[in-house]
Amino acid sequence: MLCENCKKRTATVFYNEKLNGKSRSLSLCGECASKLREKGEIQDVTSMIESFADPFWATQDTLFNDFFGISSLPKKAEHSACSFCGSTLTDILQNGKVGCPECYSTFRDALTPLMRSLHGTSLHRGSVPQRQLAVRARNEQLGKLRKELQKALSEEDYESAASLRDEIRTLENGKEMNQNGLV
């Protein structure tokens, strides 16, 4: 986080005050903070954290700057906007931040290569939501049923094929319902 006053040094002092119900907050570097205090522009010294830069929260900013460094803007998708939040690809690339979860699907083609250069990969391997486990299980089940259907058809076992088709249809409808809730 950069100092809001000089925009050069790292902010190490976080100042906030509430005067007559109005709140004001500033992130400043040590030097600017003492200058502003001498000038009397900030007062309530008790609410200042001197030299307090907790890197836990700052880690993100450096990473975020790395992301900024990637300038290979794909040109064609620039004008389309996310149907959920209205962000355009230009917005996302300029801010280095994404508007809503839906944006990741809307701009998948443009974002995936960026994610690959940012993380070295674009494939998640960690934990998944419970709901997603159910989706995975259903997809597996569908795959299995489709294979069985192929087999039944090649063996001209039309009775089994019909019941398999019904089963597949039911599962697929369930999947659609769930994917509407998905991102």
Partner 1 sequence: MAWYNEQGKMTDTVISTRVRLARNLVGYPFPSSLDSTSANELIEKLSSPLEESGFRKIHFSDISAIMATSYVERHYVSPSFATAEGPRALFLQEKPDLAVMVCEEDHLRIQSILPGFDPESGYQKAAAVEHRLDREFDFAFDEELGYLTHCPTNLGTGMRVSVMMFLPALSASSCIGSLSVQLAKLGLTLRGAFGEGSGSIGGLYQISNRLTLGYAEEELIQALSEAVIQIAERERRARKSIRGEALEKLTDRIKRSEGTLRYAHLLSGKELIRLLADLRLGISLGIVQGIRQEQLTSLLVEGMPATLTLSSENAPRNEASRDKLRAQKAQSILLGG
Catalog residues that contact partner 1 under the rule CB under 8 A.
Answer: 1, 9-12, 14, 16-18, 23, 25-27, 29-30, 44-60, 62-64, 66-67, 84-85, 87, 96-101, 104-105, 111-112, 114-115, 118-132, 181-183
Handedness of CA 93, 97, 100, 101 (dihedral sign): positive
Q: Which is nearer to Zn ion, 87 or 164 (CB)?
A: 87
DSSP annotation string for 118-159: HHS-----S---HHHHHHHHHHHHHHHHHHHHHHHHHTT-HH
Residues that bind Zn ion (CB under 5 A): 3, 5-6, 9, 29, 32, 82, 84-85, 87, 99-100, 102-103
Min CB(29)–Zn ion separation in Å: 4
Element (H, E) at 13: strand 13-19
**Sequential DSSP letters for 104-117:** HHHTHHHHHHHHHH
As given in the structure block, the two tokens for residue 134 are 């159910």
Q: Which amino acid is at 39?
A: K
6 binds, among partner 1, Zn ion, none (CB under 5 to 8 A by kind): Zn ion
Whether 98 and 91 have beta carbons less than 8 Å apart is answered as no
Work out what residue 56 binds among partner 1, Zn ion, none; the CB cut-off runs from 5 to 8 Å by kind: partner 1
Q: Name which of partner 1, Zn ion, none residue 171 binds, using a CB cut-off of 5 to 8 Å depending on partner kind.
A: none
Minimum separation from the CB atom of position 68 to partner 1 (A)? 11
Chosen from Zn ion, partner 1, none, partner binding at 54 (C-beta under 5 to 8 Å by type): partner 1
Contacted by 151, from partner 1, Zn ion, none: CB < 5 to 8 Å by type? none
- Phi and psi at 168, nearest 5°, equal -60, -45
- Separation between Cα atoms, residue 153 and residue 147, nearest integer Å: 10
Q: Which is nearer to Zn ion, 67 or 168 (CB)?
A: 67
